[in-house]
Amino acid sequence: MLKQRNVFMRKHISEIAGMVGKSVELKGWVHRKRTSGKIIFIVLRDHTGIVQASFKSENLPEKEWEAAENVAVESSIAIEGKVVSDPRAPTGYEISGSSIKLISASEPYPITEYQSTELLLDKRHLWLRSTRMTKIMKVRSAVFRHTRSFLDRNGFFEITPPLITASAGESGADMFTVDYFGKDVYLTESSQLYSEAMIYSLEKVYSFAPSFRAEKSRTTKHLAEYWHLEPEMAYFDLNMTMELIENLISSIASGLIENEGELLEQLVIDKKTLSVVKPPFKRITYEKAIELLNKKGKELSWGDDLGVDEERMLTQDEKVPVFVTHWPKEIKPFYMPINPEDDRTVLCADLQAPAGHGEIVGGSERVWKYEDAIRRFREVEAIKGVKFNMDNYAWYLDLMRYGGVPHAGFGMGMERLIKWMLNLDHIRDAIPFPRMSNRVSP
């Protein structure tokens, strides 16, 4: 078993520290190159880091020396040499090269040291090779892994929802229309309704899939396509759901500290900002949030939604995420049930990231009795002046007609979470190929 696995394991640059005096073969890309007389210095990059290799003409066959002389930045190469310790080298080690083979030559690389943001987005497919993007993508992969690991440990089943749908899961106002064999359907804005359908067999489930939002808003936290985690739990109420959310998020944070500590350091993330993320998170009602914002000088009345500015103001001095609960029913979707203690509000909670990063989670209890659901649909129609096509929701209402149960769930935007945890200026750097209203390529 192990032997077979080793077949897939090449040696990487991060491993050479333990190999001083030994020979090693490495494959990667030319990060930098300089020639000094009869020595060529090549800085090699692989996914684990960079190392300098020096090649002397007397140690190389003539053809390989020529290859080394001509090799351009970003060419792919394979090298062999002896690992030597060199305190002057940035990583403390160097390779004294004995062979260099060109795998594929690079044309002149279009990205040089100082480039505009626009060019880096145009050349995104190449910019992803930069050391910073490499590190962010590793953290992203780890965040996904810690997320799944927490949910798997806690008895959840991962489910796979359809991404093409006829029914809106949210307001429906921001959906991309798709021509489906001559009929207009949509790219999903949320997989929630499908997650809900699956609690009737699996009880605790999560879908982990893209959601699409045709939002024109060009902010630092909106993507047109983002990765959406949507757990749904039978017999959970709002308090249990908030407890689950805070434990999930703190487990992702501690997972990163334990396993990706070095990466966090390289990305200049103060680990304290993550180690303080421990349950319980602060909980305030929507009403309280409005009061707080009024005190800070924002003119807002009960019933207003919170925009980017309000969200920033609310948590800019916070260190730990804050739940804002019990929002007015007028600004929340049909699936949220009325609060029995105050029928102006619904049983829901949004989670606001600290330091003004904005909403990262939206969650709620769900209507689960047929009559309540119909009442909520009619209410939303009256408030929004829209008409739901109930044919598209017949299947959803069936769930309540055949043994409905109390349940709750939430949606977490993975790029919003990563933006906060890595303190990124813009959400686009939390995803390899960002889709925004003004950009759909590469």
Should residue 228 be labelled a site residue for ligand 4AD when binding is judged by CB under 6 A? yes
Q: Which is nearer to ligand 4AD, 51 or 175 (CB)?
A: 175
CB neighbour list of residue 61: distance below 8 Å, 6 or more residues apart: none
By CB under 6 A, residue 226 contacts ligand 4AD: yes
Per-residue HEC secondary structure of the chain comes to CHHHHHCCCCCCHHHHHHHCCCEEEEEEEEEEEEEECCEEEEEEEECCEEEEEEEEHHHCCHHHHHHHHHCCCCCEEEEEEEEEECCCCCCCEEEEEEEEEEEECCCCCCCCCCCCHHHHHHCHHHHCCCHHHHHHHHHHHHHHHHHHHHHHHCCCEEECCCCEECCCCCCCCCCCEEEECCEEEEECCCCHHHHHHHHHHHCEEEEEEEEECCCCCCCCCCCCEEEEEEEEEECCCHHHHHHHHHHHHHHHHHHHHHHCHHHHHHCCCCCHHHHCCCCCCEEEEHHHHHHHHHHCCCCCCCCCCCCHHHHHHHHCCCCCCEEEECCEHHHCCCCCCEECCEEEEECEEEEEECCCCEEEEEEEECCCCHHHHHHHHHHHHHHHCCCCCHHHHHHHHHHHHCCCCCEEEEEEEHHHHHHHHCCCCCHHHHCCCCCECCECCC
Nearer to Mg ion, 52 or 190 (CB): 190
From the CB of 157, what's the least distance to ligand 4AD, in Å? 16
In the complex, least distance from residue 350 CB atom to Mg ion, rounded to whole angstroms = 6
The answer to whether 338 touches 330, Cβ cutoff 8 Å, is no
Establish if 415 lies at the interface with ligand 4AD (CB under 6 A). yes
Q: Of residues 410, 418, 430, 436, which one binds ligand 4AD by CB under 6 A?
A: 410
| Shortest distance in whole angstroms from residue 258 CB to ligand 4AD | 25
Nearer to Mg ion by C-beta: 81 or 362? 362
Contacts with ligand 4AD by CB under 6 A: the residue count is 23
Tell the smallest beta-carbon distance from residue 384 to ligand 4AD (Å): 15
Out of 223, 324, 422, 436, the only residue in the binding site for ligand 4AD (CB under 6 A) is 223
Of 362, 365, 377, 429, which one interacts with ligand 4AD (CB under 6 A)?
Answer: 362
Among 231, 321, 362, 409, binds Mg ion (CB under 5 A): 362
Cis peptide before 231 (omega within 30 of 0): no
> What is the total residue count of the chain?
442
Stretch that binds ligand 4AD, among 16-24, 148-156, 306-314, 354-362 (CB under 6 A): 354-362
What does the per-residue mask of binding to ligand 4AD show for 188-207, with x meaning CB under 6 A?
A: --x-x---------------
Q: Of 316, 314, 327, 318, which is closest to residue 287 (Cα–Cα)? A: 327
Rg of the chain over CA atoms, in angstroms?
27
Q: How far is the CB of 21 from Mg ion (least distance, A)?
A: 58
Number of residues that bind Mg ion (CB under 5 A): 1
31, interface contact from Mg ion, ligand 4AD, none, CB < 5-8 Å by kind: none
Indicate the residue type of 179.
D
Contact 367, 376 (CB under 8 A): yes
Please say which residue, 174 or 203, places its beta carbon nearer to Mg ion. 174
Looking at the Cβ atoms of 16 and 324, the one nearer to ligand 4AD is: 324
Among 413, 428, 429, 434, the residue binding ligand 4AD under the rule CB under 6 A is 413
**Residue 415 binding partner per list Mg ion, ligand 4AD, none, with a CB distance cut-off of 5 to 8 Å that depends on partner kind:** ligand 4AD
Using the contact rule CB under 6 A, the part of the chain among 31-39, 234-242, 250-258, 353-361 near ligand 4AD is 353-361
Say whether residue 329 binds ligand 4AD (CB under 6 A).
Answer: no
Minimal distance in Å, beta carbon 217 to ligand 4AD?
A: 8
Q: Which 157-176 residues touch ligand 4AD, going by CB under 6 A?
A: 169-170
215 scored as a contact of ligand 4AD (CB under 6 A) = yes
Give the integer Cα–Cα distance in Å for 287 and 300. 11
In whole angstroms, what is the distance from residue 216 CA to residue 219 CA? 9
Position among 45, 222, 326, 332 found at the interface with ligand 4AD (CB under 6 A): 222
Contact between 156 and ligand 4AD (CB under 6 A)?
no
> Is residue 411 at the binding interface for ligand 4AD, with CB under 6 A as the rule?
yes
Residue (60 or 229) nearer to ligand 4AD, CB: 229
359 touching ligand 4AD, by CB under 6 A:
yes
User: Which positions lie near ligand 4AD, rule CB under 6 A?
Assistant: 169-170, 190, 192, 213, 215, 222-223, 226, 228, 230, 359-363, 409-413, 415-416
